[in-house]
Structure 1
Amino acid sequence: MFTITFRVTKKQLAAAAAALVLAFAGGLWAKSALSELAGDVAQAPAEVKIEKTAAKTNEQRVSFLESFGWEVEPEAEEILDVLIPKEMDDVFSNYNEIQKAQGCDLTKYAGKRCKRYTYIVNNYPDQPENIRANIVTYKNKIIGGDVCSIELNGFMHGFAAETD
């Protein structure tokens, strides 16, 4: 018979609780932002080839964003491990429509752990701040992403700049 015990300090418990609250709040924000996109998906030009672009280094990721005309901070603001859900809900389906419009399809990565790199965009037209570019990678290759506003009634679209 084996007995396994764990010792958890109050500091570790508090850190875990804080991380859980932050993850929950981020999920709520993402769900509300993506819910507004239901019928408003921006289409990228057909010639854009995104999926499987190399993204092993920070320089490759920044260069990729610059190829769409975005000026970004030289280092990622945030790097997160993300899990592509096995079953798509409406929010994820709406997000995946943005990906399909730019030649990507995240359903191929269902159940896979990926990385999301978030960069601050400095040159979005008429909005000098609160704009982010997200790059989603799997095995150091770009599989999707978006450009979005982090403001309350923000927007989200593919990598290509929106055209009216």
Structure 2
Amino acid sequence: MFTVSFRVTKKQVAAAAAVFVLALAGGIWAQAALSELRGDPAQAPAEAKVEKVAAKTNEQRISFLETFGWEVEGEEDEIVEVKIPQEFDDVFEKYNEIQKQQGCDLSKYAGKRCKRYTYVIENYPGQAEGVRANILVYKNKVIGGDVCSVELDGFMHGFAQRTD
């Protein structure tokens, strides 16, 4: 009989969880980048500008999404602390292009920690389920975000509804 044991600290578990969340977000951003390379209409052509609105409460965040015509469930699907990378790789540069189209620029927040609030969108045209809105919040203000599909061949674009 062979036995292996090891000790895991809370800090190691937290670090592993953070790596998992960042890898998941990177996968979504990679999908958006691949969609653009394939010529898919993943980004909305002309995004509405996002003003740095208050996003301290759930009601404020839902109201923000409603200004773009989105109907969401009453509670967040997920709340995660994320760190904006100090240096952007190609995938994050593509994601930041989506942000710039809607009047945001995440390079101002490089190296900063923010919260990502994810909501389930209930009225996405042509898709009954699997669509999420992600709002990035820093110091209780919206600094960016996206609307994306969680499907394997999904999409990602800014908050404005696509016109295609």
Q: TM-score, normalised by structure 2?
A: 0.82
Which residue is equivalent to 1:140?
140
Which residue is equivalent to 1:67?
67
Q: Following the alignment from structure 1 to structure 2, what is the Cα–Cα distance between the partners of residues 149 and 27?
A: 12
Q: Following the alignment from structure 1 to structure 2, what is the Cα–Cα distance between the partners of residues 107 and 100?
A: 10
- TM-aligned CA distance change 1:112 to 1:28, over 3 Å: closer
Aligned CA RMSD, in angstroms, stands at 2.5
- TM-aligned CA distance change 1:66 to 1:153, over 3 Å: same
- Residue identity over aligned pairs, in percent, reads 61
Which residue is equivalent to 2:46?
44
- Once the two structures are TM-superposed, the CA of residue 145 in structure 1 deviates from its matched residue by 0.5
SS in 1 for 2:99: helix
Unaligned runs of 5+ in 2: 1-5
SS in 2 for 1:81: strand
Unaligned runs of 5+ in 1: 1-7
Which residue is equivalent to 1:112?
112
Q: Is the 8 Å Cα contact of residues 135 and 146 (structure 2) preserved in structure 1?
A: yes
- TM-aligned CA distance change 1:121 to 1:16, over 3 Å: same
Q: Following the alignment from structure 1 to structure 2, what is the Cα–Cα distance between the partners of residues 86 and 18?
A: 19
Q: TM-score, normalised by structure 1?
A: 0.82
- Once the two structures are TM-superposed, the CA of residue 18 in structure 1 deviates from its matched residue by 6.8
Q: How many residue pairs were aligned?
A: 155
**Which segments of structure 1 move beyond 4 Å, counting only runs of 4 or more?**
8-18
Measured against aligned partners, the alpha-carbon deviations of 1:70-108 in whole angstroms (never above 9, x if no partner) come to 000000000000101111110000000100001111010
Q: Following the alignment from structure 2 to structure 1, what is the Cα–Cα distance between the partners of residues 151 and 106?
A: 25
Q: Is the 8 Å Cα contact of residues 29 and 95 (structure 2) preserved in structure 1?
A: no
